[in-house]
Amino acid sequence: MNYTALFKMKSPETFKDTLHIGVVHSLYDDHVQDMIVDYMEKNKDIAIKVTIEHSENLIPLIQDNQLDIAFTYLSTKSPKLICEPFAKDEIILVTGADNSLAKQSVTNEELKSLPLLASGILTESFDNWLHSIIPENYMYPLDINIISNVVPFLEANLGFSFMIKSSVEKYIKEGSLIEVSLAESTVPEWMKLLQSF
């Protein structure tokens, strides 16, 4: 008989409260997971419930009081919520290190002809900037709504993608991906937002 398991069943942890956190996938991996570990070490009497979703799905949850705090890329203008930036990041163009189409920099005209893989960057400023260069009806060879899932396709040299710098830095350092600079444009900054009641 497993006495440790039996003891745990008879003596469940009691918590003073539960903290409900919503977070988008890439922010969870790059920032929030470590914050939760730190919080749990300091607050052993608080249970944590984490919901990992896209920004547009987290906003209604926090508006309906189902979350205490949300880490998103989209802001809300609700008088019930406090919405503050907690970090900034760059959006960069990357591709596989062995991509035969790779260059050190590309013009806007060259950008139009590259096979771009969509990575689910959903901010109004980025969307407006991108469609000032590339038509809104551009057909992506691959469209994935979770940023990190694009990386294997980039490493396979199947295209280029705009990515959050912090989410691909390790691949650039390892040498499987390379950054391609933009000769004529500046991509808007990527704002990470903290929303809470």
Mean pLDDT of 189-195: 59
DSSP state of 116: B
What's the average model confidence in pLDDT over 157-180?
93
Pairing of strands 190-196, 82-89: antiparallel
Total residues found in the chain within this entry: 197
Give the model's pLDDT for residue 194.
Answer: 53
Question: Residue 29 corresponds to which tokens in the numbers above?
Answer: 């991996």
Among 156, 182, 150, smallest CA distance to 100 is for 156
Q: What is the mean pLDDT of the chain?
A: 85
The span from the CA of 68 to the CA of 104, in Å, is 44
- The percentage of the chain sitting over the pLDDT mark of 70, rounded to a whole number, equals 89
Task: List, in order of start, the domains of the chain with CATH numbers.
Answer: 3-88 (3.40.190.10), 91-190 (3.40.190.10)
Q: What is the mean pLDDT of residues 5-32?
A: 75
3-state secondary structure of 109: helix
Sequence-distant (≥ 6) Cβ neighbours of residue 140 within 8 angstroms: 116, 117, 118
Which pLDDT value is given to residue 174? 96
Confidence at 39, pLDDT banded by 50, 70, 90: very high
Report pLDDT for 186: 87
